[in-house]
């Protein structure tokens, strides 16, 4: 079968790295530190994938404007205390290395900051596999299509040759906005029904299922 895609773009948190619980917990802990209303687990998970300030504005909409800067600081305090211990999802390292070896171009489009993504790539040893990176502090946050459009421009690849892999509606909506195909991973932050509503090519529960789908369809 001819190769269908030249570029596969991965979200990071909740897709490649099993960080959903740490991110949501860090948002909630930051709110407790500052005596702000604490978002539910569902609300804290929903904003994963957005840029940090945008995410906090959505998760804690009743916070006074002056509180968002200290809220960012407290979130980072809690997250950075744990981030080096956050594991990749089982099979992620092996599949991404396999795709790289097979000649696919690979990229990351994430709501993390560039510094945060650099730390994650270094601690996980995964940086060697990716040809392009986009983060929410260097371009528009998801679901704006800029991350994908910029990656496609950098690597000179047309939208019909691109596949986005993500665990949130922000990822899937970004793919729709950029005119590229997408797969939804159900092991991350957003419920299956919400992902299904955005009509990804498939919904996959883990990297074994992703490998099987790619072997047949990509």
131 closest CA partner among 121, 144, 116, 143: 121
Q: Can you tell me whether residue 133 is helix, strand or coil?
A: strand
User: Which residues participate in catalysis according to the annotation?
Assistant: 11, 13
Phi and psi torsions of 8, nearest 5°: -120, 125
- Cis ω on the peptide bond leading into residue 22 (within 30° of 0)? no
**How many angstroms separate the CA atoms of 117 and 109, rounded?**
10
Cα angle for residues 215, 135, 73 (degrees, 5° grid) = 130
Q: Can you tell me whether residue 51 is helix, strand or coil?
A: coil
Non-local CB neighbours of 15 within 8 Å, separated by 6+ positions: 89, 165, 166, 167, 171, 185, 188
**How many angstroms separate the CA atoms of 48 and 194, rounded?**
14
């Amino acid at each position: 079968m001819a190769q269908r895609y030249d570029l596969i773009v991965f979200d990071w948190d909740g897709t490649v790295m099993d960080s959903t619980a740490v991110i949501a917990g860090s948002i909630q802990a930051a709110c407790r530190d500052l005596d702000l209303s604490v978002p539910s687990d569902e609300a804290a998970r929903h904003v994963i994938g957005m840029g940090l300030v945008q995410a906090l504005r959505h998760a804690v909409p009743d916070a006074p404007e002056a509180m968002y800067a200290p809220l960012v600081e407290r979130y980072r305090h809690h997250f950075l205390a744990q981030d080096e211990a956050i594991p990749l999802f089982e099979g992620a390292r092996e599949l991404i290395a396999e795709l790289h070896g097979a000649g696919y171009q690979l990229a990351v489009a994430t709501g993390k900051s560039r510094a945060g993504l650099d730390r994650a790539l270094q601690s996980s040893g995964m940086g060697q596999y990716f040809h392009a990176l986009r983060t929410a502090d260097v371009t528009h946050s998801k679901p704006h299509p800029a991350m994908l459009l910029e990656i496609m421009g950098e690597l000179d690849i047309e939208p019909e040759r691109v596949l986005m892999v993500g665990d949130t509606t922000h990822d899937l909506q970004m793919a729709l906005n950029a005119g590229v195909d997408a797969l939804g991973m159900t092991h991350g932050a957003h419920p299956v029904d919400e992902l299904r509503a955005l009509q990804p090519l498939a919904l996959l529960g883990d990297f074994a299922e992703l490998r099987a789908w790619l072997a047949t369809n990509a």
